[in-house]
Structure 1
């Protein structure tokens, strides 16, 4: 049976504003906006996993509206071969994101949840959650649905990976049922404050009893696991747009794990992919191919 990466999460159309600098409170900044682009953390991660190509099947479960923005999101997923049979069309608008990007590639993002609020764990059947599946989740759909799916997946034997992004409350029992938690430094700080521990990977690992990766942007990534500490070195690039880089990292990591890669090489491959994504504009449109990742690693 072909291994499966099943992504449960958000879908959104991104409207990207190129600005000389990011707005401060009360400030209007003039710039340029391009066409709507595919986005949403769940859809981005599914697209990254599919384009990153490790010979595994990729499926996406989420919710979109019956509107033109839905086609913006789903068209590239179809082209990449992502299975969309678990995607719901609901009576709410497709999620939207307004993304502001400055001249150095830094960003601010405002998201309208829309249809993502109606994503439900029961869109994923028990047959999808066996030992051959890596389930990948984020936090742009209801936390209660994430928690329910995590606990079902744990009972059925799937490998469960959560990207706690954006940082938001999640049942501690569900977090402790994960195989792997991925957070960036601000998310780690938020979680550590809630758990009463330091925000480094080792402290979060001890507090939750699960493997934890903290991504460190241009400084690479570090994981604290039951087997010890794993580090992944960064790739030096000149960033154009960092939107979606974290999603790229998570999707490529999940594909590597589903293909049977140990965590260390899967993290190295994710670092390479995210570095490439930072050199391109947009989120979903920036996800690299397997050949591009291999060239970066070489």
Structure 2
């Protein structure tokens, strides 16, 4: 079982708490802040009782008596569902969060719920917290209660031009082209098909690829939606710095990656980037900030692997 919020981090690692770490809270991530994606929302509505069993399993395994389910306040039906089911459970709290991107990031969620700051190169565990996505919690429930491995997940298939955008229970390995056919096929004037959401997703070269454990959604983007101005020179406006949730300087990280200055990029905390895409979204010069930062991160990780 891995994290189903997108990062696919092995879930068992989060259950192996070292003796020098003090844990006092379990956070359940039900935010799903990426536009268009509704897989977690649908899961919370249809499998709330099973998710709560999974939460109790995790609380027992982690030896904590406090859990918080964080849900954005535009998902009122999910909030009410969990409040009714936990009305007599003192240890499980439901927190309605402001709709704000990227609220679903682990560090951002810990800050919003507990006012604790996770160190730049640290983990939530460093401040006494473990975070699990609602989809992961449901998978843990299935594994413990029904001895079922992670063979399927919920996937959102959506786009403004699609005939029938839907959420599907999908077996891991299902061809993405089959999912698109199930919602009426690829519309005319489609510019790109993205695995994930519009902010953090990655464009697919073709749809003859399978659904993986990290496939939260398939987004079909039309020509007019994908229109993007030609990149221009940076005007040093600072917009990218203002929106970065990690306090980085995206314009600088892009320049360092573009020039191959990877050691300096590491010193400027390039690996801290959560790849939310906010910098590229606000850039008035249409510079591909996230693309270059992702590339720089991949090179840095390759270099670290070679020297390890």
Normalised to the residue count of structure 1, the TM-score between the two structures is 0.30
Structure possessing the higher relative contact order (Cα contacts under 8 Å, 6 or more residues apart): 1
Instruction: Return the index of the structure with the highest Cα Rg.
Output: 2
More strand by share: 1
